[in-house]
Structure 1
Amino acid sequence: MTTARHLETIDLLRSRAFPTEFGPSDVGTEGPGFHMAELNGHFGDGADGDGEGDGDIDATAEREQRVAEHDDLLDRLTDRWGEPDLFSLAGTQLRDAAEEDLPEPWLRLSRLMGWLHLWRAEGRWIAVGRTKSQLLAVVTETDPP
């Protein structure tokens, strides 16, 4: 998927009403107050892109591609909304480990990654993050914890 398509997906999510129930969507998952898009289509497939085994070269190339897509998307979103906040999810992870009740999508994101880039635009939060095998975008009305 190209950066232009990633931007189209984010714009689509920004324009959608939030659902009242958790469930799958055409681009990922959603729930009360949020939409989460799996921009590269690898969400939940069990692939972690760790580069082990016979696929070392393919895994490395895929990881490099993911980093390039992530960086290009960040540049384009920064052009739109200015410099993002680099938001650490470490505190959310600690609170989750202590079994504190945390809002979605922040709980879900903290279980996937340690940090993300975050913008506030037109009354909604837009977050972009990358794991070893996933490029994710989230649009939410729920403030970060």
Structure 2
Amino acid sequence: MTFSVPAADRAAAVEQLRTRAFPARPERAGAVLSGPAYHWADLARTPVWDGDIADREDEKGRQELACCALVETLTRMWGSAPQTFSLMSLLLREAGGEELPEPWDLLGRGVPELNLWRVDGRWIAIGVSGQQEDHERTLVVVVTVTDPP
């Protein structure tokens, strides 16, 4: 699956992931990483920036707009706005020795804030990873049956 597409097409990809069965063992198929209780997909990716700061800021703005457009499309599609879910506390909990379930441990390390819905027994999380200035940024979607910790 290729996910570098407009918001409506990304929403269709999210819906496809939301209804897809989870595999018995971790597997990767293109931009989608799946495990026994989750699917993780990279919907759009920006490169690591080592050049012009203005270009980096423009791309950062485009990534945020893409996330907002997808959230708006999914909100209309599912008829409810998402919760905003900060993952900063997960880093502290993990640093304190708590083991966090997949995919929340991975999300907590890379995505500071999520837009989060619960639809038909599954959690759908949309966010942008790579918030540090010199890292690539990725618009990600995670679908899971595991409740947020």
- The TM-score normalised by the length of structure 2 is 0.84
Question: What are the within-5 Å matches in structure 2 for residues 64-103 of structure 1?
Answer: 64-81=61-78, 82-103=80-101
* Partner-residue secondary structure (3-state), 1:24: strand
Give the whole-Å Cα distance in 1 for the aligned partners of 2:72 and 2:85: 17
| RMSD (CA atoms) | 1.7
Q: Which amino acid aligns with 1:9?
A: A
Give the whole-Å Cα distance in 1 for the aligned partners of 2:18 and 2:30: 14
* Partner-residue secondary structure (3-state), 1:40: strand
Equivalent in 84, 109, 112 of residue 110 of structure 2:
112
- Structure 2 unaligned regions, length at least 5: 132-136
* Partner-residue secondary structure (3-state), 2:124: strand
Work out whether residues 35 and 138 of structure 1, in 8 Å CA contact, stay in contact via their aligned partners in 2: yes
Please say if 1:144 is aligned against 2:141: no
Q: Which amino acid aligns with 1:97?
A: A
Work out whether residues 115 and 127 of structure 2, in 8 Å CA contact, stay in contact via their aligned partners in 1: yes
Work out whether residues 87 and 115 of structure 1, in 8 Å CA contact, stay in contact via their aligned partners in 2: yes
- The TM-score normalised by the length of structure 1 is 0.86
Work out whether residues 9 and 37 of structure 1, in 8 Å CA contact, stay in contact via their aligned partners in 2: no
* Partner-residue secondary structure (3-state), 2:98: coil
Q: Which amino acid aligns with 1:88?
A: S
Work out whether residues 8 and 73 of structure 2, in 8 Å CA contact, stay in contact via their aligned partners in 1: no
CA shift in 2, pair 1:41/1:23, >3 Å: farther
Give the whole-Å Cα distance in 2 for the aligned partners of 1:8 and 1:26: 17
Please say if 1:61 is aligned against 2:61: no
Give the whole-Å Cα distance in 2 for the aligned partners of 1:12 and 1:59: 31
Q: Which amino acid aligns with 2:36?
A: P
* Partner-residue secondary structure (3-state), 1:54: coil
Deviations 1:91-123 (Å, cap 9, x if unpaired)? 211111112111111100000022101000011
Deviation at 1:142, TM superposition (A): 0.6
CA shift in 2, pair 1:64/1:17, >3 Å: same
Aligned residues between the structures: 138
- Structure 1 unaligned regions, length at least 5: none
Equivalent in 16, 32, 35 of residue 31 of structure 1:
35
